[in-house]
Amino acid sequence: MGAERSMPLPAGAMSADAWAPFGWLPVDDTDPRDATYTYEFQWADAHVNVISHAFDEVEHTGRGPVCRWFYRHATHTQVLMPLNVEAVLAVAPPDVDFSDSADVELARAFRVRPLESLALHRGTWHWGPFPLGAEPVRLFNVQGKRYAEDNTRVDLFERVGVSFEVLP
């Protein structure tokens, strides 16, 4: 495929409008938008736990972490909330298959603050959240208990010859 091309992917602030292609932001139970979206668990295996990601799980450049892979779950939605530190994540819409280099133009990155929750549409490609500093990010996580059986990974370099340099 040739040399890997690194593309800058600036991490924007989380907002309902910016996040809409990838999922939704949970709201207070008194908000009229509450229960607008449906959580999906096709295997009836909703599971809640706390997971973490460490700084050294991914490569870093002088400008930020490198996103070379995306993951997705075809059978369930996922909810994440950083508990302790600010983090970054990268996403791409569920209907992207990375069969064309133009698909990378649909990827976005976001900064996520502690206690800021997000829901991923079923099938949304995601990477992270990864912490911005040395302390691992602890994440409140709701996903399918059998997520490992439904965890598709795409290597962006193998598929389209790029990786992302996520700019916090």
- Residue 104: predicted pLDDT: 93
Assign 35 a pLDDT band (cuts: 50, 70, 90).
confident
Strand partners, 143: 47
Say which CATH architecture domain 5-29+36-167 belongs to. Answer: Sandwich (2.60)
Locate 30 and state its tokens. Answer: 């008194």
List pLDDT tens digits, range 53-99: 999 999 999 999 999 999 999 999 999 999 999 999 999 999 999 99
Domain ranges of the chain: 5-29+36-167
Please state the rounded mean pLDDT for residues 15-21: 97
Q: Above 90 in pLDDT, residue 147?
A: yes
Rounded Cα–Cα distance for residues 66 and 46 (Å): 30
> Are 14 and 112 spatial neighbours (Cβ–Cβ below 8 Å)?
yes
* Closest C-alpha to 49, from 143, 137, 121: 143
The dihedrals phi and psi of 149, each to the nearest 5 degrees, come to: -80, -10
Tell whether pTM > 0.85: yes
Q: Above 90 in pLDDT, residue 120?
A: yes
Strand partners, 140: 50, 81
DSSP one-letter string for 104-168? GGG-EEEEE-TT--EEEPTT-EEEEEEESSSSPEEEEEEEETTGGGG-EEEEHHHHHSEEEEEE-
